[in-house]
């Protein structure tokens, strides 16, 4: 019997979207499979079993012909005959629909914001737009919130200090209160703690991660302001209770500033001497995006001068870093080793949802 032709999928060459290639296309090289197996080992020791599980759930689209593309030109060139396209940042509109032709049934956005997809043109071409609320983005927003809370409450400085001797060694003056008359809170006499309630959070880049952070910070009673190159529609601002400000206004008036900008030449050193001179004295700066958004020497100076109340970073300037780096010697700095999107299951579950959903829809 003649075999049916393989389903063709065109997928943006994002590092995690390459997993679609690994799972569905048997021509994928062993080196890539082994690299992902190594990448997932600490959370998913049976990576091959994970792949097999998804293939079993998406039998009707496995095996598939998966084309990974890096640019708009490559996307256009590979679309003819494709049943579905998966994009994150690449644009998808009338030219792409024309290149794909009638075979195209679905455009999957690897995320939930569709600013790069012409939904009206897709509807007219009978190509349904699919979205996903990515678990890894939610986890990264949680990481930002954790850094905010940990810095505000001085967790890393004071964790496990429970004896008078420890507290005195740390420079505190613990005491005994008269319990007949007063509570016993903060008998360690740790000063300068901060609460998030009724504080202003300035989010620079209200994209998918920024919006996830806004939801959580708003639930804690924070006031949300944001800045980015293009102001969002009113209905989006209302949904996230976010007020648009200029960059200088945001920096000058926010108690916490969280960065959520993409990696690009335009965002390198986005926060430098000029911005750190404007930032509200004592503000906490959080970066769970790209480390080079903040100019390193300007940051160190702002910490030395006590302009910043604290700094939280999830991906260090070098990976691995140096245990003797001056930045991590500041008591009000917390650096975590690129943990934002973890555990690995977050991204694996995202990819599983994309593949299984396409498998069900492309019957």
pLDDT at 6: 85
Q: In this structure, is residue 286 part of a structural domain?
A: yes
Phi and psi at residue 320, to the nearest 5°: -70, 160
Q: 121 and 30 in one domain?
A: yes
- The answer to whether residues 55 and 66 touch, using CB atoms and an 8 Å cutoff, is no
| C-alpha to C-alpha distance for 261 and 221, rounded to whole angstroms | 24
170 part of a folded domain: no
Asked if the bond preceding 233 is cis, omega within 30° of 0, the reply is no
Helix, strand, coil share of the chain (percent; to 5): 40, 15, 45
Alpha-helical (H) ranges within the chain are: 18-24, 30-40, 47-57, 72-78, 94-100, 119-124, 135-152, 155-158, 164-169, 208-219, 234-239, 247-253, 273-278, 296-304, 345-361
Q: Enter the pTM of the model.
A: 0.94
Q: How many domains does the chain have?
A: 2
Distance linking the first and last C-alpha atoms of the chain: 20
141 and 253 co-located in one domain: yes
Are 219 and 323 within one domain? Answer: yes
In the 8-state DSSP scheme, what is residue 97? H
- What is the predicted pLDDT for the residue at 2? 39
CA atoms within 13 A on the CB side of 90: 23
305 lies in some domain: yes
The answer to the question of residue 164 being in a domain is no
Q: Would 175 be classed as within a structural domain?
A: no
Q: Based on the fold, state whether residues 25 and 84 are members of the same structural domain.
A: yes
pLDDT score for 3 = 47
27, 89: one domain: yes
CA distance 11 to 43: 25
Are residues 145 and 261 both part of a single domain? yes
Residue 47 to residue 44: CA distance in whole angstroms: 6
Residues 99 and 226 both lie in one domain:
no
Q: What is the DSSP string of 26-59?
A: TTS-HHHHHHHHHHHTTT-S-HHHHHHHHHHHTG
Instruction: Indicate whether 201 and 319 sit together in one domain.
Output: yes
Structure tokens at 260: 């959520």
Beta-carbon contacts of 12 under 8 Å, excluding residues fewer than 6 positions away, are 68, 69, 70, 75, 86, 87, 88, 89, 90, 110
Tell me if 353 sits within 8 A of 51, measured CB to CB: no
121 and 264 inside one domain: no
Q: Give CA separation, 15 vs 22, 37, 207, 257, 318, in Å.
A: 11, 14, 19, 28, 19
Whether 124 and 216 share a structural domain: no
Q: Are residues 64 and 206 in the same domain?
A: no
Residue 360 lies in a domain: no
Nearest to 134 by CA among 209, 69, 206: 209
Residue 340 lies in a domain: no
For residue 69, what are its two tokens?
Answer: 């593309």
User: Tokens in use for 19?
Assistant: 């997993």
CA-to-CA separations, 128 to 10, 13, 119, 181, 331, in angstroms, rounded: 15, 21, 8, 67, 51
In a domain, 186, yes or no: no
- Domain holding 102, by residue range, is 7-131
Sign of the Cα torsion 157, 159, 164, 165 reads negative
Task: Check which CATH number belongs to the domain holding 239 and give it.
Answer: 3.40.50.720
CA 51, 55, 61, 64 torsion-angle sign: positive
Same domain, 60 and 90: yes
pLDDT tens, the chain, 363 aa long: 334 568 999 999 999 999 999 999 999 999 999 999 999 999 999 999 999 999 999 999 999 999 999 999 999 999 999 999 999 999 999 999 999 999 999 999 999 999 999 999 999 999 999 999 999 999 999 999 999 999 999 999 999 999 999 999 999 999 999 999 999 999 999 999 999 999 999 999 999 999 999 999 999 999 999 999 999 999 999 999 999 999 999 999 999 999 999 888 999 999 999 999 999 999 999 999 999 999 999 999 999 999 999 999 999 999 999 999 999 999 999 999 999 999 999 999 999 999 999 999 997
Give the residue among 232, 241, 249, 233 at the shortest CA–CA distance from 213: 241
CA distance 202 to 223: 8
């Amino acid at each position: 019997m003649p075999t049916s032709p393989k389903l063709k999928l065109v997928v943006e060459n994002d590092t995690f979207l390459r997993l679609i290639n690994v799972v569905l296309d048997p021509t994928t090289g062993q080196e890539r499979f082994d690299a992902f197996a190594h990448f997932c080992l600490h959370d998913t020791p049976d990576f091959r079993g994970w792949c097999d599980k998804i293939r079993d759930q998406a039998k009707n689209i496995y095996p598939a012909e998966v084309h990974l593309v890096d640019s708009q030109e490559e996307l256009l060139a590979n679309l003819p005959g494709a049943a579905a396209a998966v994009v994150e940042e690449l644009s998808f509109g009338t030219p792409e629909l024309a290149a794909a032709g009638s075979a195209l049934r679905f455009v999957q956005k690897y995320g939930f914001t569709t600013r790069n997809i012409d939904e009206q043109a897709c509807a007219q071409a009978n190509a349904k737009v699919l979205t996903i609320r990515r678990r890894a983005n939610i986890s990264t927003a949680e990481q930002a919130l954790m850094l905010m809370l940990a810095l505000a409450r001085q967790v890393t400085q004071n964790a496990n200090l429970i004896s008078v001797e420890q507290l005195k060694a740390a420079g505190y003056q613990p005491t005994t209160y008269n319990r007949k008359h007063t509570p016993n809170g903060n008998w360690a006499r740790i000063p300068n703690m901060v609460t998030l309630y009724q504080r202003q959070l300035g989010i620079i880049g209200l994209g998918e991660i920024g919006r996830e952070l806004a939801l959580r910070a708003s639930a804690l009673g924070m006031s949300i302001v944001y800045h980015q190159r293009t102001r969002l529609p009113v209905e989006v601002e209302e949904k996230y209770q976010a007020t648009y400000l200029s960059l200088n206004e945001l920096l000058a008036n926010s108690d916490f500033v969280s960065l959520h900008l993409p990696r690009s030449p335009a965002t390198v050193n986005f926060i430098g001497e000029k911005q750190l001179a404007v930032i509200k004295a004592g503000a906490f700066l959080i970066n769970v995006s790209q480390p080079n958004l903040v100019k390193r020497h300007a940051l160190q100076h702002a910490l030395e001068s006590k302009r910043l109340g604290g700094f939280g970073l999830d991906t260090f300037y070098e990976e691995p870093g140096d245990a003797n780096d001056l930045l991590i010697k500041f008591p009000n700095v917390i650096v975590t080793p690129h943990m934002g999107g973890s555990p690995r299951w977050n991204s694996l579950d995202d990819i599983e949802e994309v593949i299984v959903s396409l498998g069900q829809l492309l019957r």
